[in-house]
């Protein structure tokens, strides 16, 4: 593990350790352990496997290894699988012997760590890029691009919004919960991927994640007063009746939108 400066993403991970490991499958109504929710991303990954015939598939921020285990369950057995995550608790909940585990910050993971010799690499991830914040995203994307050879693919399901107002609302909510997470519009994320050297071949919608303030409060350690203050502030700043932010009695519900990006390294 590195001793260099702690990044925004690493700080966010350390704040979430309470729900990592075996508790992870139950968070946000089981979104991250639901095979139906995962299907569109896994379909896109299987398509990329068919086209690029990789020797190694690495899931970046793969958590408990749920997505890789699903791919195995769906019959994918020709590729070496690696779950890369910073959180030891997440990795310790990955018990499938066919999935190799690598504990590493993603901005330091290298091709050599994922693959000993020659071969083709495919990268995937879900719900990871926003951990890197507004300033960390470009260096991360450039770092990941450097690990790929031209023509290799990165398929990821990432939080993003069609409207700038929605991206701003979500970034504001996460800022108020004192995380460094940041949200972009789909167009801005596409532009940042292209700027890092990827050609974005396809962008499709993925199931949204409904987050109750009860879950958010537990994840980010917010008491009732803090949740009420955040709700009022967001309603004041962005107006009531937003599609992605709704009052529910004393609580609120926020909706994280996702797209699946299939990107080719140029």
Give yes or no for residue 85 binding ligand SAM (CB under 6 A).
yes
Per rule CB under 6 A, is residue 9 in the interface with ligand SAM? yes
> Which residues lie closer than 8 Å to 185 by C-beta, 6 or more apart?
160, 161, 162, 163, 164, 167
The candidate with the shortest Cα–Cα distance to 138, out of 184, 203, 86, 204, is: 184
**Residue 228 C-beta: closest distance to ligand SAM, Å:** 26
**Which residues partner with 101 through β-bridges?**
83
Using rule CB under 6 A, residue 91 touches ligand SAM: no
Contact segment (CB under 6 A) with ligand SAM among 58-66, 72-80, 92-100, 257-265 equals: 58-66
**Does the protein bind ligand SAM through residue 21 (CB under 6 A)?**
no
**127 lies in the site for ligand SAM, by CB under 6 A:** yes
Confirm or reject binding of residue 32 to ligand SAM (CB under 6 A).
Answer: yes
Cα–Cα dist 152/145, whole Å: 9
Contacting range for ligand SAM; rule: CB under 6 A; set: 45-53, 55-63, 217-225, 247-255: 55-63
Stretch that binds ligand SAM, among 123-131, 159-167, 212-220, 231-239 (CB under 6 A): 123-131
Question: Of 105, 144, 156, 158, which one interacts with ligand SAM (CB under 6 A)?
Answer: 105
Query: In angstroms, what is the minimal distance from the CB of 209 to ligand SAM?
Result: 9
Compute CA 30 distance to the chain's CA centroid, rounded to the nearest angstrom.
Answer: 15
**Using CA atoms, how far apart are residues 65 and 14, in angstroms rounded to an integer?**
19
160's CB contacts (< 8 A; 6+ apart) are 167, 183, 184, 185, 186, 188, 189, 257, 258, 259
Stretch that binds ligand SAM, among 8-16, 162-170, 177-185, 252-260 (CB under 6 A): 8-16
Sign, CA torsion 36/41/47/52? negative
Give least dist CB 74 to ligand SAM, A: 16
Quick one: which of 21, 54, 63, 180 contacts ligand SAM (CB under 6 A)? 63
Alpha carbon of residue 130 to chain centroid = 7
């Amino acid at each position: 593990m590195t001793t260099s400066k702690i990044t925004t993403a690493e700080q966010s991970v350390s704040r979430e350790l309470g729900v990592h490991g075996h508790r992870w499958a139950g968070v946000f109504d089981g979104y991250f352990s639901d095979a139906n929710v995962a299907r569109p991303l896994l379909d896109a990954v299987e398509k990329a496997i068919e086209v690029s015939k990789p020797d190694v598939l690495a899931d970046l921020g793969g958590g408990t290894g749920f997505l890789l285990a699903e791919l195995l369950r769906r019959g994918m057995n020709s590729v070496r699988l690696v779950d890369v995550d910073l959180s030891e608790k997440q990795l310790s909940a990955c018990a499938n012997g066919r999935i190799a585990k690598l504990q590493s910050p993603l901005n330091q993971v290298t091709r050599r760590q994922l693959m000993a010799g020659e071969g083709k690499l495919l990268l995937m991830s879900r719900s990871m890029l926003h951990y890197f914040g507004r300033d960390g995203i470009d260096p991360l994307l450039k770092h990941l691009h450097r690990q790929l050879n031209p023509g290799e693919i990165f398929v990821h399901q990432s939080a993003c919004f069609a409207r700038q107002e929605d991206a701003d609302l979500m970034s504001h909510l996460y800022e108020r919960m004192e995380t460094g997470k940041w949200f972009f519009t789909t167009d801005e994320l596409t532009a940042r991927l292209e700027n890092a050297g990827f050609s974005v071949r396809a962008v499709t919608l993925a199931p949204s994640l409904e987050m109750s303030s009860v879950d958010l409060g537990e994840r980010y350690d917010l008491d009732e007063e803090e949740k009420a203050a955040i709700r009022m502030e967001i309603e004041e700043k962005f107006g009531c009746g937003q599609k992605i932010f709704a009052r529910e009695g004393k609580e609120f519900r926020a909706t994280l939108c996702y797209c699946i990006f299939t990107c080719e390294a140029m």
